[in-house]
Structure 1
């Protein structure tokens, strides 16, 4: 996954934890996202696994699973974002570190589809 498609920076993550950010919940993974009214369009995604969930090696494994599942299915969301001309910032947040790839992938597909359906109601060129 190229660095240009990964959400980075303290301010960007702080925006995702503000009151007006939207949250979609699922079994293993939650998705927080915010649509920014900037002139550019694109889709940046962050990956979060809390320290309280376990040891570093298990958290890193879960983060790799999140990144890999998102990499395989990012086109579900990125095509809609590109067509509507908006800037999308999101973060996939793991609730547990005990999931396997198939379960994580299934959750991410469901989350991205829900967001795509919400974004498809926005007219193209909306800021």
Structure 2
């Protein structure tokens, strides 16, 4: 059992890292998420917008959005960090299914408020990821 750079043992089977390669970037990608054919699920503190992308590579890219009218920059940045951490801890909920089905997924977690405890953000993110995972078979069969 060796330890990596993060000082965690590498014997676990789940990859809990969230590298830059797993984060959705680029104006075109975000613009595509806000088109008519994107799916949206809502919870009290967090929403998710996503699309199954026609792409030869498969995997899951997730973006994190906090609107400017929700508060000052320090509060928005904190909320974005909370969203990233909740997703990082529970990304396996969705990524394992996508890897199995060989689907390309682009999504964005969007905050509805900024002064929210981490446990509430985490609860909403987990519920949304499970909801997306459960709905993906029907969605992917509808999108050839």
TM-score range, shorter-chain basis? over 0.9
User: RMSD value over aligned CA atoms?
Assistant: 1.2
- Match of 1:67? 84
Partner of 1:41: 58
4+ aligned runs moved over 4 Å, structure 1 = none
Larger RCO of the pair (alpha carbons < 8 Å, separation 6+)? 1
In the alignment, which of 102, 118, 122 is matched to residue 85 of structure 1?
A: 102
Matched residue, 2:121: 104
Structure 1, unaligned runs of 5 or more: none
Alignment coverage as a number of residue pairs: 125
TM-score, normalised to structure 2, is 0.84
- Following TM superposition, by how much is the alpha carbon of 1:119 offset from its aligned partner in structure 2, in angstroms? 1.4
* Structure 1 CA distance for aligned equivalents of residues 122 and 93 of structure 2: 13
Q: What displacement does 1:39 show? A: 1.3
CA drift at 1:120: 3.5
Preserved contact between residue 35 and residue 89 of structure 1 (Cα < 8 Å): yes
1:1-43 deviations in Å (ceiling 9; x for gaps): 2000000000000000000000000000000000012111010
User: Greater CA radius of gyration, 1 or 2?
Assistant: 2
Gaps in structure 2 of 5+ consecutive residues: 1-17
Q: Give, in whole Å, the separation in 2 of the partners of 1:52 and 1:18.
A: 22
Residue 131 of structure 2 aligns to a residue in which SS?
Answer: helix
